[in-house]
Structure 1
């Protein structure tokens, strides 16, 4: 199995349970890993033999900067399902991590995050 990783993508969105999160918005980061077969792409050096990093980034941007969700679990699910639908037959599995660096939680911590895996990911 081969993997494509898009790391530390940064976006601004309006996801959250609290009303101020939906009004003020906040920063989000995302990491996406895709289980793919890159053998043909490596042999041919042709873009149409692999998954477009730009296309995956655009899906993440559209979801995270788009319609607000209450839960980052729902954001992660929408990102994963959108990628798997767009690249059906090209991706065996998708791992998505959504990071909320500044949630409105009192205390000291670096960030909160969720990670989901959909499909086959060895």
Structure 2
């Protein structure tokens, strides 16, 4: 199986368990790995034989910007459901909250989901 990796998709969104996260928002970053057959595109060099990843990136950014949820798991599931469409056979979504409101914690929180159809 072939793979397309989309790394570093960023968006400002309003997902979080705390009320201020849902009002003030914060930055999120998403990496998406898509498994699909790229052999036809490799042979005929035609965009309609592969996945137009520009559309996938736009979908992920829109979902980050418009989703309202308390949990990262919910947003990650929404992204998975949106991108796991033909010709994609499997997807891995890694969703990171870049600035979690946790005192003394300067890292990121990441949820990773892998699903197949």
Any gaps of 5 or more consecutive residues in structure 2?
A: none
Deviations 1:81-118 (A, max 9, x none): 0111xx32x01100001000101111234211000000
SS in 2 for 1:32: strand
Q: CA deviation at 1:75?
A: 0.5
Q: CA deviation at 1:27?
A: 0.4
Q: CA deviation at 1:22?
A: 0.7
Quote the residue 2:70 is aligned against: 70
Quote the residue 2:16 is aligned against: 16
Q: Determine whether 1:117 maps to 2:102.
A: no
Superposed structure 1 runs of 4+ greater than 2 Å apart: none
TM-score between both structures, scaled by the size of structure 2: 0.95
Q: CA deviation at 1:67?
A: 2.4
CA contact (8 A) 2:13 2:26 kept: yes
Q: CA deviation at 1:58?
A: 1.3
For the aligned residue pairs, the C-alpha RMSD in angstroms reads 1.1
TM-score between both structures, scaled by the size of structure 1: 0.92
Whole-angstrom distance in 1 between the partners of 2:67 and 2:92: 21
Quote the residue 2:58 is aligned against: 58
Number of equivalent positions: 117
Quote the residue 1:26 is aligned against: 26
Q: CA deviation at 1:65?
A: 0.6
